[in-house]
């Protein structure tokens, strides 16, 4: 199996990071891979906000957990509590992927996120795509968080990606061939 396929097959969603800061080189590698993502008509309808301020990530985490705790639907809160009581799993880097919201932007941002996760895997880091990264932005401090992170006007949350060194190894999920239909010979 070639190195690209090994990277793809070895990737998993990490929910337990060591918390040690990433190097500038590691961050550049991940960002470069993100920006190399293809997009419809090369519109690149995204902006990245790379949060490497651990204290800010912990503030966002606490805000999000507070919002989940106050929610009527406790499923997400209970799931997070069962995974250590943190929304961002002690990750040292949170990448907010923001979108212009054009027709193909959600697909394009998804491709960009895949590039981030594979780049992280290829250099010995782990990652986790986190839609819940939006939750802290919806609370009473949401606008202040967006201002602190310099979210550009006209862009909205698309998805978040956590990146860092894993605390423990984890096997990738099993391939489910029942999800495949072949047409033709």
Of 100, 115, 82, the closest CA to residue 41 belongs to 100
What is the domain count for the chain?
Answer: 1
Task: Let me know if residue 1 belongs to a domain.
Answer: no
Task: Let me know if residue 80 belongs to a domain.
Answer: yes
Task: Let me know if residue 47 belongs to a domain.
Answer: yes
How many angstroms separate the Cα of 145 from the Cα of each of 22, 87, 159?
22, 16, 16
The sign of the torsion formed by the CA atoms of 19, 35, 161, 12 equals negative
Task: Let me know if residue 185 belongs to a domain.
Answer: no
Task: Let me know if residue 140 belongs to a domain.
Answer: yes
Task: Let me know if residue 6 belongs to a domain.
Answer: no
Tell me the residue range of the domain where 148 lies: 14-166
3-state secondary structure of 157: strand
Task: Let me know if residue 51 belongs to a domain.
Answer: yes
Q: Tens digit of pLDDT per residue, the chain (185 long)?
A: 899 999 999 999 999 999 999 999 999 999 999 999 999 999 999 999 999 999 999 999 999 999 999 988 888 889 888 888 899 999 999 999 999 988 999 999 999 999 999 999 999 999 999 999 999 999 999 999 999 999 999 999 999 999 999 998 788 889 999 999 999 98
Q: Taking a C-beta distance cutoff of 8 angstroms, is the pair 34, 95 a contact?
A: yes
CATH of the domain at 105: 3.40.109.10
Distance in angstroms (rounded) separating the CA atoms of residues 3 and 157: 32
Q: Nearest 5 degrees, angle CA 141-CA 96-CA 14?
A: 110
Task: Let me know if residue 177 belongs to a domain.
Answer: no
**pLDDT computed for residue 74 by the predictor:** 87
């Amino acid at each position: 199996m070639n190195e690209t396929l090994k990277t793809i097959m070895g990737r998993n969603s990490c929910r337990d990071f060591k918390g040690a800061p990433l190097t500038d080189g590691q961050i550049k590698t991940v960002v470069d891979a993100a920006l190399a993502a293809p997009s419809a008509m090369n519109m690149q309808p995204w902006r990245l906000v790379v949060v490497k301020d651990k204290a800010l990530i912990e503030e966002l985490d606490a805000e999000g957990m507070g919002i989940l705790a106050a929610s009527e639907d406790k499923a997400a809160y209970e799931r997070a509590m069962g995974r250590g009581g943190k929304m961002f799993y002690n990750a040292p880097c949170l990448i907010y992927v923001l979108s212009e919201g054009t027709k193909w932007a959600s697909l394009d941002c998804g491709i960009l996120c895949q590039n981030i996760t594979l780049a992280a895997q290829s250099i010995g880091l782990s990652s986790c795509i986190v839609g819940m990264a939006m939750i802290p932005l919806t609370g009473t401090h949401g606008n202040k968080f967006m201002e602190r992170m310099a979210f550009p006007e006209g862009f909205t949350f698309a998805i978040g990606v956590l990146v860092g060194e894993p605390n423990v190894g984890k096997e990738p999920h099993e391939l489910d061939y029942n999800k495949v239909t072949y047409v033709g010979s």
